[in-house]
Amino acid sequence: MTLQLKVPNMACSACGETITKAIKTVDAAATVTTDPKSKLVKIETEVSETVVRQAITDAGYSVA
Ligand SMILES: [Cu+2]
């Protein structure tokens, strides 16, 4: 499944890396693309959106 989430407080590519790592802790096989300009995070994953949202939140970011 492909998810597209907006993370307004992803300010730079380092934030994107932190978010990518957080998602990979819940799904090591996930493909994550982050764009700090558009604040969009695209995730190709087998886990549920709820789990991905929780991982991002736990890393200190908010999902719109
Ligand atoms: Cu940053």
Query: What is the reported pLDDT for 4?
Result: 98
The verdict on domain 2-58 having CATH code 3.30.70.100 is yes
- Per-run averaged pLDDT (10 residues), the chain, 64 residues: 98 98 98 98 98 98 96
What spacing in Å lies between the alpha carbon of 43 and ligand 1's midpoint? 19
Identify the CA nearest to 15 among candidates 41, 36, 46: 36
- Pairing mode, if any, of strands 2-6 and 40-44? antiparallel
Query: What is the reported pLDDT for 55?
Result: 98
Structure-block tokens of residue 23: 């998602």
Radius of gyration for the chain, computed over Cα atoms and rounded to the nearest angstrom: 10
Ion ligand 1, residues whose Cβ is below 5 A away: 11-12, 14-15
What spacing in Å lies between the alpha carbon of 49 and ligand 1's midpoint? 23
Query: Rounded CA gap, 11 and 31, in Å?
Result: 20
What spacing in Å lies between the alpha carbon of 39 and ligand 1's midpoint? 11
Helix (H) or strand (E) holding 34: strand 31-35
